[in-house]
Amino acid sequence: MDSSKETEVITSRSLREQVYEYLRKKLDTGELRPGSFINLNEMSERLGISKTPLREALIQLEIEGFVTFFPRKGIQVNVLTEKDIRHIYEIIGALEAAVILSNFERFGDSEIRKLEEENRLMKEALDCDDFDTFYAHNIAFHNVYLDLSDNETLVRTVMNLKHRLYDFPRRKGFVKEWEIISTGEHDQFIEHVKKGDRKKAAEYIRDVHWSFEVQERFIRRYYAEAQHSRLYTSAG
């Protein structure tokens, strides 16, 4: 590959995987904007690669819901709509609750300590207005119980949906009031786990933490800036 082209260093990963990561990075940074079209020929030439690995990477992104192939029009970067967000919340809530119900007996002292530590670090990040660190520990908090599941398809689905919510592109700001309430919800979830209440723990994650209706006022504030820049649109 031409070193002058916009490419990354070749590694042991396949070319398709490298192109996929490149495209994901462009989505995360907002360089590939929701609603815009990707020209396969232009991007292939810019990257100095054939269209085959590029198309394969884009097909993977379509499967994950990031882009859509349109005959004779090209590949469009999907816009995240209010309807999408509502449905994503519903799916994540149901899947995370299913993991908790199916794996509750695997919660031990070690997992509880991890949940408490990640939530503590989230609160520290809030005190410093450090959203990136908050986000990382928030993902890690939920991964404590997701990692208990051997259902790789379920976990991969949840993570892809979270990328759609938060990395499309990655937003730098956050609604601090929401995040403070979120850590309080984490505390409540931990209490249900400590009490050994499988049903309440699962229901709390599904019906409170991942409830679009419960979180709606904050969701609208969080995506307000994106709405003005056409990253978030109402889907009546």
- The model's pLDDT over 45-78, given as tens digits with 9 standing for 90+, comes to 999 999 999 999 999 999 999 999 998 888 999 9
Express each pLDDT in 30-49 by its tens digit. Answer: 889 889 999 999 999 999 99
Poorest-confidence range of 102-116, 132-146, 153-167?
A: 153-167
Which CA distances in Å does 219 have to 15, 51, 139? Answer: 37, 38, 17
Contact 55, 41 (CB under 8 A): no
CA 119 and chain centroid, separation: 18
Q: Which of 188, 198, 232, 233 is nearest to 101 (CA)?
A: 198
- pLDDT reported for residue 229: 43
Is the confidence at residue 7, as pLDDT, over 50?
no
List the domains of the chain with CATH numbers: 15-77 (1.10.10.10), 80-233 (1.20.120.530)
Poorest-confidence range of 5-9, 99-103, 199-203, 223-227?
A: 5-9
Mean pLDDT over each residue of the chain, to the nearest integer: 89
Q: Which two tokens stand for residue 130?
A: 């450090």
Containing 193, the helix (H) or strand (E) segment is helix 176-194
Number of residues that this document lists for the chain:
236
69 CB-near residues (< 8 Å, 6+ apart): 58, 59, 62, 75
Percentage of the chain beyond pLDDT 70 is 87
* Cα atoms in the Cβ-side hemisphere of radius 13 Å centred on 224: 9
- pLDDT reported for residue 73: 84
Rounded Cα–Cα distance for residues 176 and 16 (Å): 38
